[in-house]
Amino acid sequence: MYEKKIPKDFSCGMAILMEIIGGKWKSYLIYLIANNVRRPAELQRAIPSASRRVLDLQLRELEFHGIIKRVIYPEMPPKVEYFMTPFGESMLPVVASMETWGAEYMETFRQLMENKQKTMHTDGECVEIKKDKPVIRGRRTLAKAV
Amino acid sequence: MYEKKIPKDFSCGMAILMEIIGGKWKSYLIYLIANNVRRPAELQRAIPSASRRVLDLQLRELEFHGIIKRVIYPEMPPKVEYFMTPFGESMLPVVASMETWGAEYMETFRQLMENKQKTMHTDGECVEIKKDKPVIRGRRTLAKAV
DNA sequence: GAGAATACGGAAAAAATTATCCGTATCCGA
DNA sequence: TCGGATACGGATAATTTTTTCCGTATTCTC
């Protein structure tokens, strides 16, 4: 594993949760494994936009953190399956609530971002913005304004 | 803001939530602001391990994502306050559940990590590990074992 | 026997995030 | 008038994460 240089401080709950599910695909992996998608190749097919390598790495980390368990069947061709540990299962409600919130506010979020886009790329007239943003944003402008 | 090169896909709830609170200190900031720590300097004092710069950046992003609102009082010396937006408040229960889970399992997690440490740095005898890990971990070993 | 599937790892490049250090400006108090 | 408080931004370095591309090995099918 990559050797970290900046020590981490796990004195608060969020830090721990983030350490565990912070990776780009980890929450997907947890979700999938909890829903019986167990084998590496299946997981890769389920998340095609992720490279095989990262999924591997993140699965290792989830295993390292005690969230999932890797079971190897000594067969040929190789067979591996992942299972949630009890510790991992304990976090499913949290993951679910995160997913639920995100899904519920997906539209809100998208529309918000769309509006930003508009006001950011329109070089012609971003009137409302020009009205207050400079005053709000710039230090210099504020100074002048006062 | 840093211009991203890999487009993001917000088709799932987790991705949205992560986009919003993924930053290193964002959840702290949300927590603090929701608990009436409003002014930039206060926030910085509350999170001394974070550099001023990152907090600024992450506050900008939270504002950009519609989670908090920045209110400028045109005074001298400068005064700024952050407030949760309704959208931001809607995510407080989720943040709370994340924090709660993390706090609840903090000890579990720490002990787990401690054990890993032991088995990783003991060069003398990590007997249990040697018994099964190599078989589990290495491809080659498995091949031989079969 | 070539090519698919299974599973995995190393090395290096690319991308993203965070840290560090510099600067701006005003005001207040010693 | 100097140091500290307020608040902020640019540029660059360091760190971390993710991607890409290479390789290993076995078995089964065509």
How many contacts (CB atoms, under 8 Å) link A and B?
135
Length of chain A equals 146
Q: For chain A, where do the domains classified as CATH 1.10.10.10 start and end?
A: 8-91
Residue nearest to nucleotide C21 (CA to C1'): B53
CA atoms within 13 A on the CB side of B92: 15
Query: Which chain B positions have a beta carbon within 8 Å of A91's beta carbon?
Result: 101, 105
DSSP H or E segment with residue B79: strand B79-84
- Per-residue pLDDT reduced to its tens digit, B55-70: 999 999 999 999 999 9
CB atoms within 10 A of CB A12: 16
**Residue A77: cis peptide before it, omega within 30 degrees of 0:** yes
Q: What is the pLDDT of residues A73-88, one digit of tens each?
A: 988 889 999 999 999 9
* Fold exhibited by the domain A8-91: Arc Repressor Mutant, subunit A (1.10.10)
For the domain spanning B8-90, the CATH number is 1.10.10.10
Nearest-CA distance A51 → chain B (Å): 13
Contact status, residue A90 vs residue B105, Cβ threshold 8 Å: yes
Q: What is the Cα–Cα distance from A109 to A105, expressed in whole angstroms?
A: 6
Which pLDDT score is estimated for A16?
Answer: 95
Q: Do A98 and B135 touch (CB under 8 A)?
A: no
Strand D, CB < 7 A, residues 86-145 of A: 137-139
pLDDT in tens, B53-107: 999 999 999 999 999 999 999 888 899 999 999 999 999 999 999 999 999 999 9
pLDDT digits (tens, 9 = 90+) for B21-45: 999 999 999 999 999 999 999 999 9
Using the C1' atom of nucleotide C16, identify the protein residue whose alpha carbon is closest.
B4
Residue of B25 and A114 predicted with greater confidence: B25
The percent of residues in chain A predicted with pLDDT above 70, rounded, is 79
- Residues A45, A129: Cα–Cα separation, whole Å: 44
* Closest CB from A64, A91, A98 relative to B94: A98
DSSP 8-state assignment for residue A35: T
